[in-house]
Amino acid sequence: MNTDTFTPIQRSAVMRAVKGADTGPERLVRKLLWAEGYRYRLNVRTLPGAPDIVLRSRNSAIFVHGCFWHGHACPRGARLPATNADYWRAKIGRNTARDKAAGKALTKMGWRHAIIWECETRDPVRLVRLLKRRISV
């Protein structure tokens, strides 16, 4: 029994509209880094996991993760959709495993990396402190 309110074609269109890069939280992190005087590259495909932000001069990579999509322990990330829960559990599990593998590979290459969660971008002042603490910006 399919409880989805959209047809498969409509659902596909909705999922295609979900952004994978240049999201609001990413833009905020970039804006704050720029204001602090740091220069960066975006989505460097030559590094494991294609980090959202790369500070080459500091050998640091930043991933800005959506809480739901990457299984964060906050209220938004811990909530699973009521329908097709097995699919979403597996999907988020694959994302989490991929994130861990990318982090290990970056560490092995001598790169520092940090994850900034979507829920941590709500307070810009706190976010600047987090950035500085997590990657020694």
Nearest to 44 by CA among 54, 30, 34: 54
Alpha-carbon gap, residue 109 to 61, rounded angstroms: 12
Residue 135 and residue 113 in contact, taking contact as beta carbons nearer than 8 Å? yes
Q: What is the pLDDT of residues 18-48, one digit of tens each?
A: 766 778 899 999 999 999 998 999 999 999 9
Domains in the chain, ordered, with CATH?
A: 20-135 (3.40.960.10)
Residue in this structure with the two tokens 């500085």, named with its chain if needed:
132
Query: Would you place residue 2 in the very low, low, confident or very high pLDDT band (cuts 50, 70, 90)?
Result: low
State the average pLDDT over residues 74-98: 89
- Torsions phi, psi for 115 (to 5 deg): -110, 130
Which token pair is 112? 């520092």
Place of tokens 């020694």: 136
> Does position 1 have pLDDT exceeding 60, yes or no?
no
